[in-house]
Structure 1
């Protein structure tokens, strides 16, 4: 597996910190689902790096989900994930264009919105 630096890595690090805040704890209570997100550096299906966003426990971990099946699995190219997570691309548009693939519960997937990500700090 290629050990490439993904732009998404920083976003997941910020998410870990965000989930420890009061706003993050509210999200955990409100959503209560587990997502696995696979990020491909260039092309979906190649050299993917997996992250688990556990909105039951309020954790973000690198690697595949090991507690059974996640509620939904998303697959993105690195650049497309950043666009969706920062609100620059609507998740439905990403899905229709094939920039985002979803497996699992569609109702769970619909709760996965840019709102769950920390907002970038304005300078």
Structure 2
């Protein structure tokens, strides 16, 4: 069976690509200038993760591990928790303290990874 990862996060990251090519997105790239790798698991952190890179230096979102050295911070979470954090329904610090989000790399870089870097989900 083909592994079609129907992650909620995937749609959000697609929106992020478009967002980064807008003026608001270009402003983010200038302001933050960091690279994040997101390891997003369907159900349990560490299992069957999809890896995405949100490159706020180049203003890109790509599927697959980061290949230009090391990302500034690597986050691991489940699809559900990532979606809640990105949409502002869960505070990233609380997610981290509860173990819903794991972080490797620079903590100061990680602290700049906030819900306001994501485009607001359009109402359907």
TM-score scaled to structure 2, two decimals? 0.96
CA RMSD of the aligned region, Å? 1.2
Q: How far, CA to CA, are the matches of 2:123 and 2:45 in structure 1?
A: 31
Shift of 1:122: 3.7
Instruction: Return 5+ residue gaps in structure 2 as ranges.
Output: none
* Alignment match, 1:37: 38
Instruction: Give unpaired runs (5+ residues) of structure 1.
Output: none
1:3: how far off?
Answer: 3.3
* Secondary structure, counterpart of 1:24 in structure 2: helix
Is 2:87 aligned against 1:77? Answer: no
TM-score by length of 1: 0.97
Deviating beyond 6 angstroms after TM superposition, the runs of 4 or more aligned structure 1 residues are none
Aligned residues: 123
Contact 2:12 2:121 survives alignment (8 Å): no
Distance 2:113 2:75 in 1: 10
